[in-house]
Amino acid sequence: MSNAGDGPLVSPEWLAENLDRFESDDADYRLFEVDIQEDAYASGHIPGATRIDWEADLRDTETFDVLSPDDFGDLLGGHGVTRETTVVLYGDFFNWFAAHAYWLLKYYRHENVLLLDGGRKYWLDNDFPMTTDQPEFSEQDYDAPSPDESVRARRTEVEQAIEDETCLLDVRAPAEFRGDILAPPGWNEGVQRGGHIPGAENMPCRLTIQADRRFRPTDKLADLFGQVGDADETIVYCRIGERSALVWFVLTELLGYENVSYYYGSFVEWGNAVGLPVESATSAELR
DSSP string, 250-273: IIIIIS--SSEEEESSHHHHHTTS
DSSP string, 71-84: HHHHHHHHTT--TT
Q: CA 44, CA 51: separation in Å to the nearest integer?
A: 11
Question: Do 8 and 254 touch, CB atoms closer than 8 A?
Answer: yes
- Give residues with Cβ within 8 angstroms of 140, minimum separation 6: 27, 76, 77, 80, 81, 82, 85
Q: CA 235, CA 196: separation in Å to the nearest integer?
A: 13
Distance of CA 114 to the CA centre of its chain: 12
Q: Which helix (H) or strand (E) holds 102?
A: helix 96-107
**Phi, psi (5° rounding) for residue 116?**
-80, 115
For residue 238, indicate whether it is catalytic: yes
C-alpha triplet 127, 54, 5: angle, nearest 5°: 55
Residue 171 CB coordination number (10 Å): 28
Catalytic residue among 238, 240, 247, 251: 238
Q: CA 192, CA 206: separation in Å to the nearest integer?
A: 24
User: In terms of Cα–Cα distance, which of 198, 254, 255 is closest to 227?
Assistant: 255
Instruction: Please identify every residue annotated as catalytic.
Output: 238
